[in-house]
Structure 1
Amino acid sequence: MLARAALGLYPAAWRARYGDEVRALLDDSGAGLRAAASLVWRAVPAWIWPARHLFDRPARMRASLATVLVAWAVLAGLAAVFLQLTQAQPTLQDSVTGPGHLVIQWSYWVFDGAITISLLAVAVGGLPLWWLMMGRARSEHRTREMAYLLAPVVVPAVYLAAGVVTVSLVRRPGSVVGLPGLKPSAPSVVDVANGMVGAWWFLALIVLGFAAGGISAAGPGLALRRLRPAGPPVTRAARAAGLAVAAMVLAGAASIVAAVGLYQWAPAYHQGWELGVYLPIVLLAAAVAIVSAGRGIRAARSPAAA
């Protein structure tokens, strides 16, 4: 039973080609815990280094784009949080001088440049494909697909409007409401960056922002799966996704350097929980984005994908 469940961890194309054979072998040999553990372990390379002959290359690029969109949205959300907590709060960094100031400032410059490149890559590579799918959905009167494609426009607008209304209602001018355990005499960056709405409201808006980003990214991903576009627009989008991910990962690395520097040299950034939450999420999202973008680029290099 466990071994059969472990087969579900493999890519769909792998299961379609080898699933029946593996099930027959399991039935003949008597599947046990050892067989299940072996299948789970071997599922990792099946995802990282998929066999090329098993996959339809345009489908691989579409799947790669869908995954990259979600991972990129997470990284973009983290970048927005980083920007609000760091570059938007220069007065909290006045005490940083000397080499520490140079390290942080250079990290900011790298971060800004990498974010700009990533956004341009998304626009140049993604907008033509988005327009192609939108035109097809409109011509075929596919309302659901049109809604999926409009998610990156509508959902952020709704989130921003809701955020503005929420902040205007709950803001308490002149007060600083922090997280439990922080001394009022030494507020952390969260206390100052939350716009006087309170740390819990600030964190709630961040969580809702990530949810909005996830929905915005999932919409085009679902449209890719249902409309199944192919040809040069998909190939160009896959290549642009690789550049966008590389730039965003560079921005993430620069933000980590700056965050560690601020933790080391700026008193307002001495709360370790901020780094403890930020670093693992950045590394996980970057790993997913790199693997998925790499698969898409490998598929785009094939003449059959053009």
Structure 2
Amino acid sequence: MRRRRGVLRIVAGVVLGLYPKPWRERYGEEVADLVDSRPVRLRTVADLAGGVADAWVHHRRVPGARPPRVPLPAILAVGAGALGLLWNPGVRDAASLHGVWERAAGAGAIAAELHRTATALFAMAGLLALLSLWQVAVRVRAAGKDAQERAIRGRMVMVAALVAVPAGFVVAAYVGLGFLDVGHPVGPLAEAMLGGFFSPIVMALVLPLPLTAAASPRLADAVRAAGKSLAVAAILNAIAWLAVAALLAIGLRQASPWFAMAVAASALVSTGMAALVARAVLRRAPHDPVGPSSIGRLPA
């Protein structure tokens, strides 16, 4: 019986750890003392477990509580997974792809122009994401050699080593499928939207580098430049999806409902991912020092 009570007391402690952090900071010590002063039974554990659910539902009532936030890496990982799931209906529906393109091509040269526009803008978005890496890397190499800079440089090397393989794989897959015709041909419409599945993932993979560099004030200009490059990449990615949407609208009668919904969902996920990446870097980068003392001043 004593062993059982000891186990229940341990379980009660674990359950207490499941309460929201603001609740634990305000009431945790008091409740823990109350539990320690009394025998712990199954009903005690059940009451604590019910309190966990109630505390999370009403967590905003706790003074100092903040709304729960989903970590950005988790959101981007879910977005990348969603793009992977949307790949088959969005890029592999041969009947809809060819039907839409044939109808759009019948409208004249606008189809070819939209195809070129979307393909070029997606490629430029991916290149700008890679450019943001170069902007940070060059500044890190020229940074000082004090202890803080060496520590940040070491962390960046570790992060770069972790993301190099998946980023290289994504870039190689994009180049192979979109420009070298590796694998089965997917047709002009799929080629036009192909970059929208890869560019946001490349942006998400390069994100840890500027965020790591943001820990150093000396790298503020590099982080700011990387954020601007990623913001332009996000804008280009969105405009490219508009070109794809125009192609789809012209030949919509030849598209299955599932195909149209898959393309629309892919566009939303892709533009959302790109916007979140750019926003994350710009929020960590200090603003440009613009003011009366800097306007109109000539460089020395």
Tell me the TM-score normalised to structure 2 length: 0.49
Higher relative contact order (CA 8 A, sep 6+): 1
- Which of structures 1 and 2 has the bigger CA Rg? 2
